[in-house]
Amino acid sequence: MADLINLIENWIKNLLLGWGASAGLTGFILQALGSVLVVMVCFAIVIVLIWVERKLAGRLQDRFGPNRAGPYGIFQSFADMIKIFTKEYVTPAGAEKGLYNIAPVLAMASVLAIWAVFPFAVNVIGADIHVGVLYIVAVGAFGILAILMAGWSSNNKYALLGASRSVAMLISYEIPMVIALLVPVLLSHSMKLSVIVEAQEPWFIFVAPLAALIFSISSMAEIGKAPFDLLEAESELVAGYHTEYSGMKFGMFYVAEFLHQFTVGALITIFFLGGWTGPMAVRWPILGVIYFYGKSLFIYLVISWIRLSLPRIRIDEMLDLNWRFLIPVSFVNLVAVAIADRVMMEFTLARWIYVLVMFGMNMFILWAALAIAERNDQAVEREEFPPRPVAVPPGVDSK
Average pLDDT over residues 309-335: 87
- Domain end (from 60, 86, 112): 86
- Position 361 scores a pLDDT of 94
| 122 and 164, same domain (yes or no) | yes
| 276 and 362, same domain (yes or no) | yes
| 102 and 79, same domain (yes or no) | no
How far apart CA 355 and CA 358 sit, in angstroms, is 5
The total number of structural domains that make up the chain: 2
How far apart CA 304 and CA 51 sit, in angstroms, is 12
First-last CA distance in the chain? 85
- Position 2 scores a pLDDT of 47
**Of all residues in the chain, what percent carry a pLDDT higher than 90?**
25
| 154 and 260, same domain (yes or no) | yes
| 177 and 37, same domain (yes or no) | no
Instruction: Give the residues across from 124 on adjacent strands.
Output: 121
| 46 and 108, same domain (yes or no) | no
- Position 213 scores a pLDDT of 94
How far apart CA 29 and CA 33 sit, in angstroms, is 6
The Cβ of residue 312 has, within 10 Å, a number of other Cβ atoms equal to 16
For 209, the domain range is 92-377
Closest CA to 163 of 154, 176, 172: 154
- Position 179 scores a pLDDT of 94
- Position 234 scores a pLDDT of 64
Residue 398 lies in a domain: no
On average, the pLDDT of the chain sits at: 84
Residue 295 lies in a domain: yes
**Of all residues in the chain, what percent carry a pLDDT higher than 70?**
92
Residue 152 vs residue 234, higher pLDDT: 152
**What pTM was estimated for this model as a whole?**
0.87
| 280 and 306, same domain (yes or no) | yes
| 43 and 80, same domain (yes or no) | yes
- Domain end (from 36, 58, 86): 86
